[in-house]
Amino acid sequence: MLQAMTMRLISVRPLTWEALLCCFLAGVIIGLERQLRGKPMGMRTSALICIGTYIFVAMSQQVGNAATDPSRVIGQVITGIGFLGAGVILARGGAVVGVTSASDIWILAAIGVVIGVGFPWLGVKLAVLAVAILVGVDLIEHHFEFLQRGVHGQSLPRSEPAEDRPPLVPRDSQ
């Protein structure tokens, strides 16, 4: 009886510990890269986005029957994540910031969907691919001078008021 009660306490059915672990790993992989770069979205937020998306998708498969379509939940997740991502994009000092964070939210939700439909380790691989893109493109941009134009070639120090910062695009070319 004690063993049965213990099993019920640690069971997360219909979810799986393997999928939850993969969501956590995927979130930590992407979130660590963002956190190390001092971005606002770190490991905790990334893991929670991935886990939350997984739970919605996995649970929708439990309520699906001949009269319902569980794939509609994926569409609603995409819509909700779109609003969440749009909320992190800001215009600051003539530049649009937060687009990469919004993209991270988007890929984390996609990874949660992948894990939720039954491919947990593919989700972890996709997280590694996302970090390779984030780090790799950054290295390429810093290595080639012709890629350092516009917002990619200049960082905006937060201590300066926007009107005191040099324009991202020369005023005569606007």
- Res 169: pLDDT: 47
- Res 77: pLDDT: 92
- Res 157: pLDDT: 45
- Res 46: pLDDT: 97
- Res 153: pLDDT: 63
Between CA 153 and CA 168 the distance in angstroms is 9
- Res 158: pLDDT: 45
Burial bucket for residue 13 (CB in 10 Å: 0-12, 13-18, 19+): exposed
What digits encode the pLDDT tens for the residues 3-44?
Answer: 877 878 888 989 999 999 999 999 999 999 999 999 988 999
Q: Which residues of the chain have pLDDT under 70?
A: 150-174
* Residue 37: C-alpha distances to residues 19, 32, 56, 106 (Å): 27, 9, 30, 19
- Residue 150 near residue 168 (C-beta atoms within 8 A): yes
- Res 145: pLDDT: 84
Q: What pTM value is reported for the model?
A: 0.82
